[in-house]
């Protein structure tokens, strides 16, 4: 598979400067692959973190909803209240 990325002038300059950090024993193609997969792994971790946070938020919201429903069902209904 071949991937082509179009950079703006500033992005291209930044990428060229970043590539100067490439270890000499690593050829360009392998270096680009490592950059690509490191980015994919980073994005995957971020997405997993967001999914976990969303799940926790939903669980907390569901818990609060269930508590509120329990409180409502435990309070006496209008027709069950006695008049004094």
Give the residue carrying structure tokens 């409180």: 71
Q: Is residue 24 part of a domain?
A: no
Q: Is residue 38 part of a domain?
A: yes
Could you give the number of structural domains in the chain?
A: 1
Q: Is residue 44 part of a domain?
A: yes
pTM of the model: 0.62
Please report the pLDDT score of residue 14 as a whole number: 96
Q: Is residue 36 part of a domain?
A: yes
Instruction: Report percent pLDDT > 70 for the chain.
Output: 87
How many helices (H) and strands (E) would you count in the chain? 2, 0
Phi-psi region of 20 (alpha: psi -120 to 50; beta: other; left: phi over 0): alpha
Residue 39's domain comprises 29-68
Is the predicted pLDDT of residue 69 greater than 90, yes or no? no
More confident residue, 47 or 60: 47
């Amino acid at each position: 598979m071949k991937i082509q990325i179009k950079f703006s002038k500033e992005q291209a300059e930044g990428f060229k400067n970043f590539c100067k950090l490439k270890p000499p024993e690593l050829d360009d193609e392998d270096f680009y692959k490592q950059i690509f997969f490191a980015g994919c792994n980073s994005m995957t971790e971020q997405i997993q973190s967001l999914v976990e946070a969303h799940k926790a938020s939903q669980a907390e919201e569901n818990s609060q909803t269930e508590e509120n429903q329990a409180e409502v069902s435990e309070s006496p209904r209008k027709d069950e209240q006695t008049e004094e």
